[in-house]
Chain A
Amino acid sequence: MSTTDKVMSIDEVVGSLESGMTIGIGGWGSRRKPMAFVRAICRSSLTDLRVVSYGGPDVGLLCAYGKVRSVTAPFVTMDSIALEPHFRAARQNGSITFTEYDEGMFMFGLYAAAHRLPFLPTRAGLGSDVMRVNPDLRTVRSPYDDGEELVAMPALNMDVALVHMNRADRRGNARYLGPDPYLDDLFVKAATAASYVSCERLVDTADLLADGHVQSLLISRVHVTGVTETPNGAHFTTCEPDHGRDEAFQREYAKAAADPAAWEAFRRRYLDGDEKAYQEAVR
């Protein structure tokens, strides 16, 4: 293979991370989350992570394992189950700090980071308590005739981005097949140290665009450090059209989270082993 072969194992990816890093996680709520990477971080010795995410069970699971120092998010939800139980518990027992933004502000924060800008202006957030609980947040006045006061949404800078895509080649080019790219391209562009893509299936570059449009090639290798094939790796979140959300499993997860003994049993049954063991347990 050429020097552009970026295939890595899950453990190699997670082994390259360091405690205290700021990690951006792609997807949205309980949709196309790089859960195989997340599960591996949970099994690792990493601690003190700062997580930047349109939050779902990725955030919840990392909180459940005590991996998180801070969460930056506009929400944490599992969509069909509105509230994420582990995130709620972490907030309510004060074990994490939380930076809360509107989801449009968050997008501008990603755009700013992806473009290496210090901030981008937006109206979203003005008048709300997002301004109160983020005392460092500043406004900026338009230099043009309108003179409008806007929120100066700071860049959501991150060291590392983790995203999950439907297809990728060994070089790190990646394609989504579902209806929504989410903001995954911005995450990989924003990361300053490394971006890792997990995918349902690795394919030859020549086959990457099979039956598709070039627009579905969301991520270019120029932004990617490593690529890992993790079939069903987004489980239990959605990864359309390869698989939908495993609603029954998500309910089991949420139910177990409500009770320490049940959670212990859930961990033993599904999460204590490696990714292969997990996939066998959930089959």
Chain B
Amino acid sequence: MKKASALILSLSVLLASCSGGDEEVGSLDEGAASVDEDNKTLTIALGTDVVTFDIHDHNNTSTEAVHDNMFNYLFKRDENNNIQPELVETFEQVDELTVEMTLKEGVTFHNGDPLTSEDVKFTLERVATDDTLQEYPNYNQISEVEIIDDLTFRVITHDPEPSLLHRLSRLGSSMLPKTYIEAEGWDYFLANPIGTGAYQFEEWVRDSQIVLTPYADYYEGAVEEWDEVVFRVIPENSTRVSEILTGGVDIAVNVPPADWDRVNGNAGTAMETETSNRTLMLILRATEGFPTSDVRVRQALNLAIDNGAITESALRGGGVPTKTRIAPGNFGAEESLYDTYDYDVEEAKQLMEDAGYPDGFEMTLHSPRGRYLQDAEVAELVGGMLQAINVTVNVEFMEWSNFVEMRQAGTNKDAYLIGLGNSMFDGAYSVDWYRSNRFEGETDYKNEEIDSLLEASAVNMDEAERAEQIQEIQRIADEDMPHIMLHQETVNYGVNDRIDFTPAMDEMIYVPSITKN
């Protein structure tokens, strides 16, 4: 009997939540987001577990979001994305290949050992020389770290390296404790990681939770706001949303657009969003034999896609249409190409006719599903829009590992949908996707002008000139259209009213900046 009535109740709940009307959902008696006000535990719901505590051997932003609280970098981006010294007190460019730096005094690891030049050398030379590490390609520009004294050292690169400080302010450049790791071994470190950060490691139950506690001797003073920080792993979207609605967690990452109204309408919770550094785009095949090898076809496809309609309907406003993947806040952003888009179906039709496709053609668009915000919906909308210029799009959805393999094997067809960020916050790493010899056999795009600009900018130590070179590449790409830019994503958090949390563009969840309301 009880079971039957529970069933009927559940059914009616489902009907109410399916009907989609805001009022009906609001009328449900949810809204028990009541957390004990004095509770000094901060709970954050992640969608995926951290991958590892080997900071050199992963490429995962949500893992870095946890690590960020335990480790420090030599430099750090401030809220305006300008690079500021963090563990470094002073630094000076000695010559084109050498930067001399001095560490702050009084920085210690969680076991009490002081941070010294030895640790810097150990950390950076490991990732710069061990080619089995995932972060190796981002640090092998460093040839060595030369120790001057306990706190002073020189970072020396193989070639002039304009992005060095960008590299030293991100994932992969966290400072590791040399003595501790050499005495205890890597396996022990991975199970009991220590850093110099504001929070220290307490416990990691895989696929369940990571617990951190404040480090009493933190060089900037212990953080007293929270006695404990718990990162819980909740892969299922609806479960994560339910947790934020009931006050089970203080922050829930990646709340899907369909649930934004519920979180905002619920007593005690609200959505907080910020544009992320990730841009969604279509990568086109420029290989001979594909219609997309003709620049006029690429331009036509771009003109037939209404980026604004995509961000309005599929993303419910959660996205910024763009013509470049380098957003403001990144070095070398061409701001005139941001927050704008081209849409002109008539001109697109004309270009199609000029290119010899007055009756259109059929093309394949590969898309992952569930990897990016509303990715499947975006792919379908794009397919629908291209119908207006007689292009029939077969959208092929792929599970992520198959998608990766498709790209690796170069079996991509006319286009694929992908979302790309830039953890360096340096535009050079985004425009590198236009370099011709990087994607031979995959997209086969080649533009000699871009190639020579890339080559020149890679070793250009003149900041202003390098920025101009990167901007010029974006302007050329906007004409030549090897990739069709769609929009910059937002990161979307459900947040309990008891805390004050400002999301960051780099998707870090930096606990020392989160306070009680």
Bound pair (A, B): no
Interface residues of A, Cβ cutoff 8 Å to B: none
Interface residues of B, Cβ cutoff 8 Å to A: none
